[in-house]
Amino acid sequence: MFWTRLFSGILLLIIAITTLSFGNIILNITLLVISLIGYRELTKALLCADSDKKWNTLEILGFIGIVAYYLSVYATVYTGREIWLIMCIVMFFMAQMGVYVITFPRFQAKQVVASVFAFLYAPVMLSFIYLTRETTVGIYVVWLILISSWGCDTCAYAVGKLIGKKKIFPVLSPNKSLEGCVGGVLGAALIGGLYGHFFVEEMIAGQNMAWAIAFICAVGAVMSMLGDLAASAIKRNHDIKDYGKLIPGHGGIMDRFDSVIVTAPMVYFLTVLLLGA
């Protein structure tokens, strides 16, 4: 299991480095595929999907909505008109309500809510990776998403193993300790600060960005832990171990990207506000 998990982790890292480096349509399509899978995993976990494992109307509409949304994201980046994103999200919600009304009583209200929630949770939140990459400093700051999430996770695990004593989420996540959480945030901030000082400031002359990047990574690390715990809470509520089996040793898309999903929007917002991207 260890070697399987390690190999899968290395492969994911290679894919992440490649797609984030190229950006543009390659990253957009990659995130689209990940979003489609993540959406399906969530609808199954939240019992929006039918028990016979076939796609129902709500899910099919969700897949169409996700494709339309990522086309809107692409259009927004190259036209600068955010109305495409807002319109797509609102139209998706209205379409889901339309299916609910027209087919009543085929679907329960909780299934419609689950479908809309899954759409916002995975596809919309993940799209901020692409939006971050396409900012003026995106080639440099998009890596803060990985530093904030995967860097925090690694540092939190190491510190928790070494000195972790005080359990702060004994029911939801028995292995998480206060010391580990603090270590994760500080570790991500330190990695981000060093990255900003030795790399970003060297690439962008005359810019003192290290402290801002360290702060972004610290806030992103807090959000990554929130995302991890939220995804775990959903699994516990529905008595499932993993969201899927796509990634050997890791589970599904939602198991591996649970922290990244929540971190990406925060990194984007702080990048625009603090770095003027």
| Residue ranges in the chain whose pLDDT is less than 50 | none
Is the sign of the CA dihedral 260, 261, 262, 268 positive or negative? Answer: positive
User: Domain residues of the chain, as ranges?
Assistant: 1-22+137-277, 24-133
Inter-residue contact 255 to 122 (CB < 8 Å): no
Q: For residue 161, how many other CB atoms are within 10 A of its CB?
A: 13
Rounded Cα distance between 270 and 171, Å, is 32
DSSP 206: T
* DSSP per position, 80-115: --THHHHHHHHHHHHHHHHHHHHTTTSS-HHHHHHH
Rounded to an integer, what is the distance from CA 17 to the centroid of its chain? 16
**pLDDT recorded at residue 80:** 77
DSSP 34: H
pLDDT digits (tens, 9 = 90+) for 148-175: 998 999 999 899 888 988 888 888 888 8
pTM for the predicted model, two decimal places: 0.93
